[in-house]
Structure 1
Amino acid sequence: MSPPLRILHLEDNPDDAALILYHLKSGGIPCTITCVSNRADFVAALERGGFDLILSDYTLPDFDGHSALSLARSTCPDLPFILVSGTMGEDFAIESLRSGATDYVLKMRLSRLVPAVRRAMHEVAERAERRRLEAQFIEAQKMEVIGQLAAGVAHDFNNILGVIMGYSDIMLMKLPATDPLRTPVSEIRRASERAAGLTLQLLVFGRKQTVQPVPMDLNVVLRDLEQILMRLIDENIILTLLPGTQPGHIMADPGYIGQVLMNLAVNARDAMPDGGRLTIATSRVTLDEHFTRAHPGIRPGDYMQLSVSDTGSGMPPEVKERIFEAFYTTKPAGKGTGLGLSTCQTIVQLSGGLITVHSELGKGTQFQIHFPCVPQPSALTAAAMPPPLTRSRPYATRHRNPPRRGG
């Protein structure tokens, strides 16, 4: 149910004000009206703000609708302004429309008031939607440019890393096991590997990395990643895996899904320096049109939901709005690249899915990822799937034990 319209009504005749309120409510428009009758009260109400619509008489003892329109347009230019008058002639009405009035209604024809209000509010909604789409388009263009730049830098940097890693390998092969130079050369090799991981993130973010999607069971990937996730988190963090009981397959690259999970686990660990609980759950859900309208890019249907929740510090709204932006990070200098979550979003989108976040300060954070379900693969297709990233003990055996801590 829509909230009532907040209307500022400039009218000096209480009977006319009551009649207009009656027409609005009998026409099915719930509203709360703030009625003013002079310039000072009208200006004060505009400064307070919080209105959805202005209704104004045209002729008042010490004020007039044309002056009220000028004040409204200078203070809140997007607010609909409808003149409701019994003395306004056609010439004045046309002039008011040219000056920015949304519509005009004669008091002897108040049957036009409800359609005029509905039309004005519909135009407001259309303008808001248009601005939202324009902002999305500008953001998409910006991210495309950043992605192309990042991918180009990553390719060139990979060539340099190839030389560093190659010569490091040659030196390690030639140095005796007791040579003290093996330690610094090994550090160079490890640093190169970390840099190679960063270039992979850049390539994924720029959508220049080859993705090999296959039909896969999300529960299997989660099971195979358990040991890696245990190593990523601290000992004072309890990891709980809750695989769903309803089967469902998705089309994705298992390696990239693992990268998403590891990124989210690391972020959860950093949000819980004093310990806490990290819960990763899967379930099969059906998304309806109401949900998909609020999240453009996905269609109604069956989805596998991957939920990653922590009991950490949470995020304020201004941070939550920007966490998927490339190169945005709240970590100290040198501790984060700002690519982790933007890479996660890119990977999920390449799989036809959606990632959202729910977080409050002091109440933890939950990431929800939805992947569209695909038909269960045949035995032949399943046999052709790549091997698991890691192996762990059988799933049934693991769940006989209580939740495990990080190590």
Structure 2
Amino acid sequence: MIRYQTTQSKYDCCGCRACEQICPKQAIEMKTDEEGFLYPHIILGKCINCELCNKVCPIEHPCKPDSHPIQIIAAQHKDLAVLQASSSGGIFSLLAEYVLKHKGVVYGAAFDENMYLRHIRFDDENKLEKLRGSKYIQSDIGKTYLQAKEDLKAGRLVYFTGTPCQIHGLKLFLRKNYDNLFTSDLICHGTPSYKIFAKTLKHIEQERRGKVFSYSFRDKNIGGWSCCSSSSFYKDNKSQKNNYLKYDRNMYAYFQAFIRGHLMRYVCYKCPFCHVHRSGDITLADCWGIYKFKPDFPNITGGVSLILVNTEKGNVVWNNICTDVVQMPIEEKDAVANNANLRRPTPMPSEREHSYVNAFIHYPQFLKRYQPKTKEIIMLYAKYYLRHTPVFYCLYRIVKRICLKK
């Protein structure tokens, strides 16, 4: 029987649904707790004690720390349009396009028409845009492990992307290696629940008197390649016009609470995947700190991806797409030094115990705790208009580059 059923400890479950999908008797139901996270509940009358649920749990059976990446690379897509539409260096798009060109299918996280984040399956390049960009919420895997298994058994090339626990959960669920499975995991800071994100959307819609239909956690049109640059589009209820929204206090508060580690699922604070021994064939992340160890990398402000090629399969795929990227090899020590979650899980702050209560019951307190001060708002808008004034932005970049070299 799965450990969570016995302990009821929220440190024992990542919500990947592997146990639910492997159960031959459909004896496991995923239920949402008060914070909005999914947890398994066993229907004892249906359970036959086959132990499959325990065998496929990525928290119970994490990957073994016995390997290092074959190569680690700083990379950037050569197509500037794709680069601009991506959160970092645009490498996911290249990997997905490679699979689609080989008549494969891609699985990844995308918002549906109700702004619910779920994993989807697609084999149409026109839908690729939905999967681009970082999404700082836990996606609902749904039945995609079962779908992926059917695609693999049919001989199709499958590209599955997700957090390390989702990727490792998939591999345990499959219970065998498939040559036609290719995976990418992420260097993950942790995952807030959809419920708290929905609370943010609700307050945006109330204040703006409209309906949010698109959300970007990192919009390069605002702050270039950076973290704090959330934006959204909403349709005004009265005029029915689509409006572009940046620097909204609700979005800012959500992002600040996330980046400070106040909204994570409890297991994220003890994540067993925060090291260089990765679950995916290729690991995707931001190449933070590249200014320090590769200052000559071209167009850094456009966004640079950190790529960990972890398996021979990943190496083969990378060698097939790398002609379309600008790349430089980097040292493992530099990658680890500038990505904290390659060293350790996000620490659990004391505020974690109250963050969800404040968000759901005392939202004004939550907003006050994390929303930007007047000075910060002025600086954000100053940087935005600086970026959108070509002459001044060019001077700003020159000065910044000079300062970084000192």
The TM-score with structure 1 as length reference comes to 0.22
- Name the one with the larger helix percent: 1
Q: Which has the larger radius of gyration?
A: 1
- Of structures 1 and 2, the one scoring higher in RCO (CA 8 A, sep 6+) is 2
The TM-score with structure 2 as length reference comes to 0.22
